[in-house]
Amino acid sequence: MATTSPAPEETKEMNVINMNCKTSRGLTLLEILIALFVLSVGLLGLAGLQMTGLKNNHSAQMRTEATIQANNILERMRVNRAVALAGGYDIALSATPPGGSNLVQTDLNQWLTALANNLPAGDGSIQTDLGTGVTVITIQWNDSKGTGGSSTQTFTLGSKI
């Protein structure tokens, strides 16, 4: 039985295939490592975006709470309009909550307590222009958990009673 040797063209093709297999063995591992690196950088970027979103969401929640509290005291003042127009609700920032049991003292005490409980380092002031009846309510709180900006945030609401 005679064995036939492959034609010269076939041996060249087999040698090329064998050379390609030998040189491409480490290449796929390198491609996988590069793909994993790119994926990990993308996931780190996504985690950073998530953290920024959470910080901004917290700041928005605090601004919403300040708006609610400003409208709360404004509505209380509208219920007791005569006293509010006379400046009975005026209070400065960092003032101690008033004691007593009349309506103005109760309203201010409950409002300042709500600010302290619902906003970090929450405080507020009320100033009424006796001539025009325009009231300016200012609320301050610490927003150090927010993104950028200063740690002290201020919300101001002006309205005619």
- pLDDT digits over 37-60, tens only? 999 999 999 999 998 888 888 889
Burial class of 119 by CB neighbour count within 10 A (0 to 12, 13 to 18, 19+): buried
Amino acid, res. 131: G
Number of Cβ atoms within 10 Å of the Cβ of 83: 15
Query: pLDDT tens digits, residue range 65-104?
Result: 999 999 999 999 999 999 999 999 999 999 988 888 899 9
What are the extents of the domains in the chain?
9-160
> 93-145, pLDDT tens digit by residue?
999 888 888 999 999 999 999 999 999 999 999 999 999 999 999 999 998 87
Residue that wins the pLDDT comparison between 27 and 52 = 52
Q: Are 146 and 60 in contact (CB under 8 A)?
A: no
The pTM for the full model equals 0.72
Please check the confidence at residue 6 and state whether its pLDDT lies above 70: no
Q: What is the pLDDT of residue 147?
A: 59
In a 3-state reduction of DSSP, which class is residue 119? Answer: coil
